Structure 1
């Protein structure tokens, strides 16, 4: 038994921070990987989401999405979540758990022969991502993949296909909130211990979209690079969306300050 007493810092740091309606776990990358892989292969099911400024703003605007996230372990992603945590609690996160970097680290740490299923993106992209994961992670088995172009009428068929493939980890790449809604809808029928919403991961993995330089990723500023790549598609999210997010965080901070007064 470890007899070490927790440090003063550890005792004061809560296990999660609430940014608006979303409870975001305060975990380092090793801690998060350990928690997730504890569910593989026989643990109780766990849903995982990544919260960047865009996702947090969606939850603030949409109570249905906020309620959906209550059923997920939510991990922090990027500078927006860091700003929110620091402003509201005075302390940020142990590290940036950007999903596009976190998932490869999770797969690299997975036990040998961990089975992984990919769901989402265009047919050629998900196929290339599956091939790439198989080449770069010899310890895992890509047990199946399916593109993200289907209707709710296809859900039963999709669940049957996933369960037949018997994955330990399901990666769903459709962007939020669509991927989280889908995971929530399918989970009761799925026999999968770990399901994660992974956004544009398959596009990056397949080489369809270029990653930002490492220094921008480490600083939580990958959004700047993405904005420069796709200004028309991402312009609203990364201009007006960021301003609205910061205004909402500022409002939460003022509300908390008045409550303490």
Structure 2
């Protein structure tokens, strides 16, 4: 039996088609927003035993080559890499909202970083209808709930949340639980808002084309090498172990 996260990845709809459907959908036909997140070997190992976080996520996409290849083998079908960054869905999202002017709220990164990112977004996408933004750090539960109330009151149709796993999934689940009929979709985006403070396109084109984002981040974000050496082998071992256990349980 596959882990529920893997099932959600395998069953995920094509993201651009799903996003287009949400754009065409009237708010009158919406109940709760859809919570959409992205998983890689590092975040999978954090989320897999955190039922409260992953259970509320409606759709997961695989945002790393290693996890996409591994999930493809498990599912016996191609599982594409999809990520909320400028080399993947993030660019489509921003360009589409720049044209449609649908209301969007951004939350994540540090105060100075999110301010820089918003300035860059507004420069690159002058018609982007940003109805609000704030950093992704809270002093207590009261501040968290106040942020949720503020987001809902802005009338945002889309919310982009970049706090890192599992905080962004947890916040997204809380926002989803409090929102009825206003927000269409909530996207997690990992470090996208933090990275974008240095430039809208964090990864050079050649790096994106060669799928060497992991190597680029090793040199730019020193903590990434620790994740690669620690969590990626654990991820592969965990999936192998779960597969073996599943085979024996069926016998």
State the match for 1:163 in structure 2.
152
Relative to structure 1, is the Cα distance of residues 219 and 154 closer, same or farther in structure 2, using a 3 angstrom cutoff?
Answer: same
State the match for 2:141 in structure 1.
152
Q: Would you say 1:118 and 2:106 are equivalent positions?
A: yes
How much does 1:134 deviate?
2.0
Q: Would you say 1:229 and 2:220 are equivalent positions?
A: yes
How much does 1:219 deviate?
5.2
Q: Is the 8 A contact 1:39 1:46 kept in 2?
A: no
Q: Specify the SS of the correspondent of 2:129.
A: strand
How much does 1:171 deviate?
1.0
Relative to structure 1, is the Cα distance of residues 37 and 84 closer, same or farther in structure 2, using a 3 angstrom cutoff?
Answer: farther
What is the TM-score of this pair, normalised by structure 2? 0.82
Q: Is the 8 A contact 1:117 1:144 kept in 2?
A: yes
Q: Specify the SS of the correspondent of 1:74.
A: strand
The superposition leaves residues 167-201 of structure 1 with CA deviations (integer Å, 9 ceiling, x where unpaired) of: 11111110011011011123222342211111111
CA RMSD of superposed structures (Å): 2.7
Q: Is the 8 A contact 2:196 2:202 kept in 1?
A: no
2:228 and 2:200 map into 1 onto residues whose CA distance is 17
State the match for 2:92 in structure 1.
105
Relative to structure 1, is the Cα distance of residues 75 and 133 closer, same or farther in structure 2, using a 3 angstrom cutoff?
Answer: same
Matches within 5 A, 1:3-14: none
How much does 1:252 deviate?
3.1
Q: Is the 8 A contact 2:104 2:156 kept in 1?
A: yes
Larger mean CA deviation between 56-65 and 78-87 belongs to 56-65
1:149 and 1:163 map into 2 onto residues whose CA distance is 18
Matches within 5 A, 1:52-63: 52-63=40-51
2:200 and 2:92 map into 1 onto residues whose CA distance is 19
The superposition leaves residues 192-239 of structure 1 with CA deviations (integer Å, 9 ceiling, x where unpaired) of: 2211111111122221798344344345542232123223x2333211
State the match for 1:11 in structure 2.
none
Larger mean CA deviation between 109-118 and 30-39 belongs to 30-39
Task: Name which of 177, 184, 187 aligns with 2:166.
Answer: 177
1:186 and 1:109 map into 2 onto residues whose CA distance is 23
Q: Specify the SS of the correspondent of 2:55.
A: helix
Which structure is higher in RCO with an 8 Å CA cutoff and minimum separation 6? Answer: 2
Larger mean CA deviation between 158-167 and 28-37 belongs to 28-37
Q: Specify the SS of the correspondent of 1:99.
A: coil
1:40 and 1:75 map into 2 onto residues whose CA distance is 25
Task: Name which of 130, 133, 140 aligns with 1:142.
Answer: 130
Which ranges of structure 2 fall in alignment gaps of 5 or more residues? none
2:70 and 2:25 map into 1 onto residues whose CA distance is 29
Matches within 5 A, 1:1-261: 20-22=3-5, 23-24=8-9, 25-39=11-25, 41-42=27-28, 43-44=30-31, 45-69=33-57, 72-93=58-79, 95-101=80-86, 102-110=89-97, 112-150=100-138, 151-190=140-179, 191-207=182-198, 211-218=202-209, 220-231=211-222, 233-258=223-248
